[in-house]
Structure 1
Amino acid sequence: MLRRSLLSLPALALLPTRLYAAVDGTRRPLPRVGADQDRAGKERAIGLSETRYKVLTSDSGGDLFVLEQLNRRKGGPSRHLHHHEDELFFCLEGEYIVEVGEERSHLKPGDCVLGPRGIPHVWAFAGGPIGRMLISFAPAGKMEAFFGQRESRGIKPGQYASTKEDAALLHEFGMELVGPPIAPDTF
């Protein structure tokens, strides 16, 4: 089961060897995505984060979607849950707080925590000049489409879901808005 395999970081290292892009019915290894690059060559922002897609949903046949968040301001999204995707948080730089259910984890570079589907979770960049976190969704589900829809609906960088309209959008993509972000005074 893929969900259980994400708990093992060595398994994560092997995943890229299984990912192939389908082009004209053929499958071939994906190109390398370098540091500070987006897989599709786009500039993106989600909430307070500069965002780079590293593995697209189509790259893995829907099994995986991976993005890197770069944070320069403290904070993060509202508490939410996914009905269909597990979400892995892997800290690359800086410090993050991640709450999954009732458990609060303080992540430093090299630390990770899994947010299983169906369990409310929330995260926030909490310290350092900058923060970088790799976030993986398995299966990919509708996550890439959700972030694209946010952009097309005009949700600007610096904003996270917090309104009734935002809650409706999350619901449309198999998620629920269930609470506020982590309070800055708890960092």
Structure 2
Amino acid sequence: MRRRSFLMSAAALLPVAGIDLEALAKTPGVSPSGQAHVVAAGKDCQDETHSRGYSTILFKVLPRETSNGLFVIEHVNLVKIGPPLHFHPHQEEYFYVIEGEVRFALGDKRLTLGAGDSVLGPRGIPHTFAAVEGKPGRMLIAFSPAGKMEQFLRDTAVPNPPVEDAEFWRKYEVELVGPSPFQA
């Protein structure tokens, strides 16, 4: 009962402390709905599936849920090919490997990560990824801020052919550098 009383008192002090709860709810990074949502394993938050030809992509957190602060996707059945070498001038990209092994080109580094490993792709650094031959990979990717990545993945999803045109990618605030070093 004491904890509940403390929380009620603390909440009552927010306006006194000059904290505008309505403004806080509109602040980037604060969920506009103020609601938590659960997305089940193997599911997309809108019961859709997306693909760029090298994996099935499930949307887990949409940009509109975080005032464009975050976009999270899951790659399922990632194969030994991946996107071309590219970079994001305005956002970081965080990769977390759930299953399998995934190769990364990140600037001049070449890494192979396994389940439980993660790496941050800083803005402005060219990068790409592909599963190691054998068992398909599975990983989470988070973009912060979300930028135009949701629309990019929708507009380049199969059955649309992959567009390897720098000007097209630039519309989505992604810079195409060249082919993946993993695709021989």
Q: Which interval holds the TM-score relative to the shorter structure? A: 0.7 to 0.9
Identity %: 38
What is the CA deviation profile of residues 62-88 of structure 1, one whole-angstrom value per residue up to 9, with x for unaligned ones? Answer: 110000001253111110011111101
Aligned to 1:29, the other structure's residue is in SS state: coil
Residue 34 of structure 2, aligned match among 22, 28, 38: 28
Shift of 1:47: 3.0
RMSD: 1.9
- 2:50–2:153 Cα contact (<8 Å) kept: no
In structure 1, the partner of 2:112 is: 106
| TM-score, normalisation: structure 1 | 0.76
Aligned to 1:169: 168
Match of 1:92 in 2: 98
How many residue pairs were aligned?
A: 156
Q: Work out the CA distance in 1 between the residues paired with 2:85 and 2:94.
A: 15
Partner in structure 1 of residue 80 of structure 2: 74
Change (3 A) 1:112 1:149: same
Three-state SS of the structure 2 residue aligned to 1:52 is strand
Check conservation: 1:124, 1:182, Cα contact below 8 A.
no
Distance 1:37 1:101 in 2: 32
Matched, 1:181 2:180: yes
Structure number with the higher strand fraction is 1
Structure 1 consecutive aligned stretches of length 4 or more whose deviation exceeds 6 Å: none
Distance in 2, Cα, partners of 1:44 & 1:19: 27
2: CA distance, partners of 1:88 / 1:127: 22
DSSP 3-state at the match of 1:169: helix
Aligned match of 1:8 = none
Following the alignment from structure 1 to structure 2, what is the Cα–Cα distance between the partners of residues 102 and 72?
23
**Alpha-carbon deviation of 1:19?**
5.8
Please name the residue that 1:52 is paired with. 58
Superposition deviation, residue 155 in structure 1: 2.0
Provide the residue aligned with 2:152 in structure 1.
146
**Aligned-partner residue type, residue 177 of structure 1:** L
Counterpart check, 1:40 vs 2:34: no
- Answer whether contact 1:94 1:127 (CA < 8 A) is retained: no
Give the Å deviation of 1:59: 0.9
Over 3 Å counting, the alpha-carbon distance change for 1:98 and 1:58 in structure 2 is: same
| Structure label with greater radius of gyration | 2
The aligned residue for residue 7 of structure 2 is none
